[in-house]
A and B are shown apart, each in its own frame.
Chain A
Amino acid sequence: MAKKGLFVKAKELKTDVALVKNLELSIGKLVDDSWDEPMGPTPMPHISTLRDWDMKLLNKYKPFYMPDCDLCCLCTYGKCDLTAGKRGACGLNIADQSSRIVLIACSIGAATHTGHARHVVDHLIEEYGRNHSLNVGGLNVDVEAPVTRLVTGIKPETLGDLDEVLTYCETQVTHLLSAAHTGQEACNLDFESKALHAGRVDQVGMEVADLAQISVFDFPKADPEAPLIEMGLGTIDKAKPVICCIGHNVVPSVGIIDYMKANKLDSKLEVVGLCCTAIDNSRYFDRAKIVGPISWELRVIRSGLVDVLVLDEQCVRTDCSNEAERINAPVIAASEKNCIGYKNRTNDPVDEIVNDLVTRKVPGVLILDPEKVGEVAVRVAQKVAPMRKKMDVLPSVEEITKLAKTCRHCNLCQRSCPQDLNIPAAMTAAAEGNLKPLTELYEECIGCGRCEEACPVKLQIHSFILKAGQKFMLEETNFCRAGRGAVQDIEIRSAGGPIVLGEIPGILAAVGCANYPHGGKDVYDICREFAKRRFIVMTSGCSAMSAGSYRNEEGQTLYEEFPGSFEAGGVLNVGSCVSNPHIAGAAIKVANIFAKRNLRGNYEEIADYIHNRVGAVGLAWGAYSQKAASIASGFWSLGVPVLVGPHGSKYRRMLMGRSDKPENWEVYDARTGDVVNVGPAPEHLFQTVETPQEAMVSIAKLCIRPNDTWKGRSIKLSHYIDLHKRNYGRMPKDIHLFVRTMADVPTTMKDEIKDILDAKGWKETVIPDPTMLPRMIRKKKE
C-alpha cells in the first residue's frame, strides 16, 4: 500500500466506540493491513532499489549486443554515427544506445500491460465498486497474487487494492521511461538494470489485469479442466453472422457476449477472435471461438468470413480497417489507444450508429462504452451478414494464373519477406497453372504483407498464397484449452518438491507471439516432446494456440492428449498475455508454499531461490513485440532463462553466460559460506536459438540448476544427453561441467561418461545449498 505523505500506523487503537486493530492511515486512504507476513527488505522497489541484484545477474550473464541500426536519431544533435565505438554528440556509445533501446522496448511493454490493467480495473470499479473482492481460485488458491505480493508487499483483496498497486506501476513506468532521455546513464548496465525493473513492473501490471478479469468475469479459476475451445477457421459456422474481435482487452467483447446472452442470441451468432482477445473471450464464454494467432489478421479478413470487426488494443494491424473496407465489413474501434481516425460515436443513439454502419455511410466508428459496442456489433452483424454473403477478396485460380504472368521476377517480394520465401519461383509456377509452390508458402507465411508493398506491379501476393492454401485454411479445426489462470496451491505442494529436487526435470513455458521462422508446428513439436518427457509444459497467448493447432497420430490435440494440471507431463494453458504472471507466480509459489520463504517485499531472496532451484525455461519461439520483451525481462529478473526463436535475435541484445569461464559459475553454499563452483547452470539468461532441434537441446540443458539432488541431476542429464545425441548426433561436449559426483551420472551411461570425465580431468565437487546472496549464508566457517 502507498506509503507517501502523511502516514499513521497503529497496532491497536482503543476508543470509546471501537477497538481497531492494524490500522494504517495515509492521506485520503484507509487501508486495512491484516496480512501478518513480515515485510521484506524491498517493498515497492524504486528503479534503483534492486540494482545490486540486477548487477549480479548482468555480470553473470553479460549483454551481447547486435545493433539493428548503427545510428541514433533520438534528438536534434543527431543523427549520430555510433559505429564501432564512436560516441554521439551527447557522449553515448553503441552499447549504451543498444541497452537504451532495450529499456525503451521493455518500458513500452510494461506501460502497455499497466495501461491495459488500468483500463480493466477502472472499468470494473465503476461497474462493481472498489470493495468487490478478488477471487482467482477460491479455496484452492490462498496465495492469489504472488507477483504483486513479492514486488510490492501488498496482498490485494479487492478491486480497490488493485488500484493502489497500479499507482505504483504507473509511477515506475514513468521513471523508467524518463531514464531513457538523452543525457543520462554512462553505463549500459544501468540501462539494463532498469530494463529488468521494467520487467518486474510489467509482471505486476499483467497480474493485476488478470486478477481483476478472472475475479469479476468469472473466468476459469485455477481450473485444470477448463473447457476445450474450438479453434481454427474451419470451426466457424458460416451460416451465422460473424463478429471478429482482435486485440488484447476483453472488456468490449464482454459487452458483445452479454448482449447476445441477454437477447438469447448466443447461439445465433459467432463470436470469434484473434490474438489474446480470442483467448480471453473463450475464458468468458466457452462457445467463443479462437481463430488463430496475431499473424492471421489479414488471412481472416481477406477470407471474407467476418461480418463485423471489433478492434481493441495491442498487436492490431493498423491496416485492419482498410482491409475490412475491402470486404464490406463495418469496423468498431473500441479502445482509446486505437481510435483509427473514426468519429467518436460513444454518446450517439444506437439506432443511428447501426444505421450508419449498415448503410456504409461510414466504414467504422469509435465507441468507448463496452455495452454499446456489444449492442451495435450484434445488431450490425445481423443486418450486414445477409447482405455481405461472406464476400471475400481472394482472387480465383484463373486470376492468379493470369496475374502471375505479369511478374517481373525482380525479387523485391522475396527480399522484403521476413521469411525469405521464394515467391518469384512460386509466381513462375503459378503463371504456368501450378499453384503447388504457392501452397507450400502458406504454412511459413506470417501474413505481414510486406511482399505486396514491395511488388512493383502490385500483385496481391499474400492473397495468392491464401487462395492456394484455402482448402487447408478452411479445414482447420482444433482445440485450445481455455486459459485456466493460476496454479493451485495444492498442485504446488505436490509438484514443488520434485521440481526443486530435480525429479520433475523442468518447467517449459511456451509463451508469446507468432513470428515463427517456419510456422507454428515447431511450437507443437517442442511442447509435445517435453510433455512426453514428463516436464511440466505451460503455455499462454499465441503460443498456446499454436500448441493446440496440430494433432497426434490418434487425432488428438495437445490439450486432449495431456492433462491440464500442474504435474509431470501436464500441458497447462494459463491464458492470455496478461496471464503470464501465473507462470512466474508458480515458481514464486514454489519458494513460498513448498520452501516456506516469505514473499512479502522479498524480491531478491525469492529470485535467488528460483534462479538456483526451479528448473524453469521460457520459450518465446515467435516473440515479436515490445510486450514480449518486457515479459521476458520479468523472467530474467527472477533468474529464469528465456529462449527466443531466430526472429528474436532482432531484440538485438542477448544475456549470455560463458561456460568456458569457470569463475562465472561460483555460488555460496548457504550452509557453510564456502564458494562452490556449480557450473553453467543455467548457462544463459536470454538466447536466440536457430532451429527447433537447437531449442530442444537448449531447453533440456537450461533446466539444470545448482540445487538438483543427484537423482534429479541424473534425470535432467539423461534428457539433455538423449536430446543432444538425437539432434546433434553425438555426446554433449560440456557434460563434465554438469557432473558433481558420479551419482549424478545416469546409470546406463556410467562407462561412457566416466571416460569423458577422465579425459577432461574432472574432479568431484559438493552439492551446495546454493545462493548468490552473502546475507543468506547461515553460518560462516570458523
Chain B
Amino acid sequence: MMSCEPWQCAEIAATKKANPITKPEVAVAMIKRAARPILVVGSNATERSLEGKLLIDYIIDLAKASNVQVVATAHMVAEFLKRGYEPADFMSAMDIGNRLVDPTWQGIDGKGHPDLAMFVGLPYYMESLILSGLKHFAPDLRTMTLDNLFHPHASWSFPNATPKVWAENLTVMTSKFKGGN
C-alpha cells in the first residue's frame, strides 16, 4: 500500500501539501544537502515494531550513520540511554516545536537555527499539529517525516506504507551514509 492520503483521514491540508518522498534516496539527499538537520524522535519509537526490530533501534542506526542530531521527546531519552546512545538533546515535543518557530533560536548546540527538521514516532495527530505549526510559522524551515504515515503538513513525507516497506526505507537510508553499512 503506497498512498499519499493523510494517514488519519481527517488530517487534511489546504493549499500547501507535502511532497511525497518516492524513494529513500530522496530523503538521504535532503539530509545531506542540509547544513543543520535535526531529527525529533517521539514516544512511539518504542511502540512500533518493524520486522521484529523496534523503531528506536532503526533510528539509532540511522543517527549513528548520518551524525544527525537527535532530539528525544517525552521520556524517550531514557530509552536511548538504555541502548547506549546519547541523543544530542531531549525536551518536550511542544518545546522543540516552539523553539523551531523562533527564527532567533540558535539550535540545540547554539551554532545556528536548523534548516531541516525531521520527525518520527510521535503520535500521528501531535506530529501533524506540530508540522502544521512549522508550516505556518517557520516557512523557511524544511520539514520531513520518516514515518510510514503520510503527513500532509510536512514539506516532505513518505507515503503510507507497510512496516516492511518502512523498515526497508530506513535500512536503505542508513546504508547511504558514510557510517552506515
In the assembled complex, which residues on chain B have CB atoms less than 8 Å from the CB atom of A658?
Answer: 98-99, 102
Query: Which residues of B (34-90) have their CB < 8 Å from a CB of A?
Result: 42-43, 73-75, 77-79, 81-82, 90
Instruction: Tell whether A690 is near chain B: CB-to-CB under 8 Å.
Output: yes
Decide: B94 and A69 in contact? CB cutoff 8 A: no
Complex-state Cα separation, A688 to B137, whole angstroms: 19
Contact B130 A730 (CB under 8 A): no
**Of the candidates B14, B73, B79, B93, which one forms a contact with A70 in the assembled complex, judged by CB atoms under 8 Å apart?**
B14
The answer to whether the Cβ of A362 comes within 8 Å of any Cβ in the partner chain is: no
- CB pair A693–B74 under 8 Å, yes or no, is yes
Contact digits for A325-345, partner B, Cβ 8 Å, 1 yes 0 no: 000000000000000000000
CA distance A697 to B72 in the complex (A): 15
Q: Closest CB of chain B to A246's CB: distance in Å?
A: 26
Q: Nearest Cβ in chain B — how far from A95, in angstroms?
A: 8
A649 to chain B minimum Cβ distance, whole angstroms, is 5
A729 interface neighbour in B16, B78, B98, B101, Cβ under 8 Å: B78
Q: In the complex, A760 Cα to B123 Cα: how many Å? A: 34
Is A236 engaged at the interface, CB distance under 8 Å to the other chain? Answer: no
B181 adjacent to chain A (CB < 8 Å): no
Determine if B180 is an interface residue (Cβ-Cβ < 8 Å).
no
Chain B 119-158, CB-CB to A under 8 Å as 1, else 0, gives: 0001111100110110111010000000000000000000
A690 touches B93 (CB 8 A): yes
Per-residue CB proximity of B9-50 to A under 8 Å, as 1/0?
110011110000000000000000000000000110000000
Q: Pick from A84, A517, A652, A694: contact of B75, CB below 8 A.
A: A694
Contact with B along A720-753 (1 / 0, CB 8 A): 0000000111100100000000000000000000
CB distance from A640 to the nearest CB of B (A): 18
What residue in chain B is nearest A734 (Cβ atoms)? B91
Name the A residues within 8 Å of B90 (CB-CB).
728, 733
* Contact of A420 with B124 in the complex, beta carbons under 8 Å: yes
Tell me the complex Cα distance, A690–B45, Å. 12
B49 to A: closest C-beta gap in Å: 12
In the bound complex, do residue A83 and residue B14 qualify as a contact, i.e. CB atoms below 8 Å apart? yes
**Cβ of B149 to closest chain A Cβ, rounded Å:** 9
Bound CA–CA A694/B77 (angstroms)? 11
How far is it, in angstroms, between the C-alpha of A290 and the C-alpha of B12 when the chains are bound?
A: 38
| Shortest CB distance B42–A (Å) | 7
Please tell me if the beta carbons of B139 and A84 are within 8 angstroms of each other in the complex.
yes
Please give, as numbers and ranges, the residues of chain A lying within 8 Å of B139 by CB-CB distance.
84-85
Complex contact A454–B9 (CB within 8 A): yes
Interface assignment of A415: CB less than 8 Å from any CB of chain B:
yes
* A66 contact from B13, B15, B79, B97, Cβ within 8 A: B97
CA distance A448 to B7 in the complex (A): 18
A652 to nearest B CB, angstroms? 6
| A85 CA / B134 CA spacing, docked (Å) | 12
Contact B78 A67 (CB under 8 A): no
A714 at the interface (CB under 8 A from B): no
Chain A residues lying within 8 Å of B94, measured Cβ to Cβ, are 64, 649, 654, 656, 684, 687-688
Per-residue contact bits, chain A 291-302, to B (CB 8 Å; 1 contact, 0 not): 000000000000
CA distance A729 to B79 in the complex (A): 8
- A residues near B137, Cβ cutoff 8 Å: 65, 84, 94-95
Chain A contacts for B125, CB-based, 8 A = 418, 646-647, 649-650
Q: Which of A71, A420, A646 contacts B14 (CB 8 A)?
A: A71
Please state if A68 and B132 are interface contacts (CB–CB under 8 Å). yes
CB distance from A361 to the nearest CB of B (A): 39
Central interface residue in A64, A694, A730, by most chain B CB within 10 Å? A64
CA distance A650 to B11 in the complex (A): 11
CB-based contact A69/B14 at 8 Å: yes
For A656, list chain B residues within 8 Å (CB). Answer: 94-95, 98
Known contacts A650-B129, A690-B73, A727-B75: A67-B98 contact under CB 8 Å: no
Contacts A64-B98, A71-B14; A690 near B77 (Cβ below 8 A): no
Question: Closest CB of chain A to B154's CB: distance in Å?
Answer: 13
Provide the bound-state CA to CA distance between A698 and B75, in Å.
Answer: 11
User: Which residues of the other chain, B, contact A71 by a CB distance below 8 angstroms?
Assistant: 14
Q: Which residues of B contact A418 (CB under 8 A)?
A: 8, 125
Contact (A83, B130) CB under 8 Å given A420-B8, A654-B94, A727-B75 = no
Give the distance in Å from the alpha carbon of A730 to the alpha carbon of B77 in the complex. Answer: 8
Contact of A415 among B8, B14, B15, B82 (CB under 8 A): B8
Q: Which residues of B contact A55 (CB under 8 A)?
A: none
With A416-B8, A694-B74, A698-B92 as contacts: A64 and B123 at CB distance below 8 Å: no
Q: Is the CB of A64 within 8 A of B136?
A: no
Q: How many residues of B contact A (CB 8 A)?
A: 43
**Known interface pairs A454-B9, A649-B125, A694-B75; A687-B15 also in contact (CB < 8 Å):** no
CB contacts (< 8 Å) of B78 on chain A: these are 693, 727-730
CA A512 to CA B7, docked complex, whole Å: 28
Residues of B near A687 (CB, < 8 A) are 92, 94
Inter-chain contact B75/A66, CB cutoff 8 Å: no
Pick from B8, B73, B75, B133: contact of A64, CB under 8 Å: B133
In angstroms, Cα B102 to Cα A94, docked, is: 16
Q: A84-B16, A654-B94, A656-B95 are in contact. Are A691 and B75 (CB under 8 A)?
A: yes
Complex interface: chain A residues within 8 A of B82 (CB) = 729
**Residues of chain B within 8 A of A64, CB atoms compared:** 94, 97-98, 101, 133
A688/B126 in contact, CB under 8 A: yes
Which residues of chain B are within 8 angstroms of A68 by Cβ–Cβ distance?
Answer: 129, 132
Identity of the chain B residue whose Cβ is nearest the Cβ of A83 in the assembled complex: B16
User: Taking the nearest CB of chain A, how far is it from the CB of B93, in angstroms?
Assistant: 6
- Which of A94, A517, A660 neighbours the largest number of chain B CB atoms within 10 Å of its CB? A660
Tell me which residues across on chain A come within 8 A of B124, comparing CB atoms: 420
Contact B74 A691 (CB under 8 A): yes
Contacting residues of chain A (509-537) with chain B, CB-CB under 8 angstroms: 517
Quick check: B14 and A81 within 8 Å, CB to CB? yes
- Which residue of B16, B98, B101 has the most chain A CB atoms within 10 A of its CB atom? B98
Encoded as 1 (CB less than 8 Å from any B CB) or 0, chain A from 662 to 696 comes to 00000000000000000000001001111101100
The CA-CA distance from A691 to B9 in the complex, in Å, is 24
- Asked whether A690 and B42 contact (CB < 8 A) given A66-B129, A649-B126, the answer is yes
Rounded to whole angstroms, the CA-CA distance of A340 and B90 in the bound complex is 49
Contact among A65, A83, A416 for B15, CB-based, below 8 A:
A83
Asked whether any CB of chain B lies closer than 8 Å to the CB of A412, the reply is yes
Q: Do B98 and A654 touch (CB < 8 A)?
A: yes
Is the beta-carbon distance between A649 and B129 smaller than 8 angstroms?
A: yes
Residues in A whose Cβ lies below 8 Å from that of B16: 70, 83-84
Q: Cβ of B75 and Cβ of A67 under 8 Å apart? A: no
Q: For residue A70, which residues in chain B have a CB less than 8 angstroms away from its CB? A: 13-16, 132, 135-136
Listed in ascending order, the chain A residues whose CB lies under 8 Å from chain B are: 62, 64-71, 81-85, 94-95, 411-412, 415-416, 418, 420, 454, 517, 646-647, 649-650, 652, 654, 656, 658, 660, 684, 687-691, 693-694, 697-698, 727-730, 733
Which 4 pairs of residues, A with B, have the shortest CB-CB distance?
A729-B78, A693-B75, A70-B14, A66-B129
Known: A650-B125, A690-B74. 14 other contacts (CB 8 A): A64-B101, A70-B132, A84-B136, A85-B136, A94-B137, A95-B137, A647-B125, A649-B130, A656-B98, A687-B94, A690-B92, A694-B75, A694-B92, A730-B81
Cross-chain pairs A/B with CB under 8 angstroms, 30 sampled: A64-B101, A66-B97, A66-B129, A66-B130, A66-B132, A66-B133, A81-B14, A83-B136, A84-B16, A84-B135, A94-B136, A416-B9, A416-B10, A418-B8, A418-B125, A646-B126, A649-B129, A649-B130, A650-B125, A656-B94, A656-B98, A658-B98, A690-B122, A694-B75, A694-B92, A697-B75, A727-B78, A729-B77, A730-B78, A730-B81
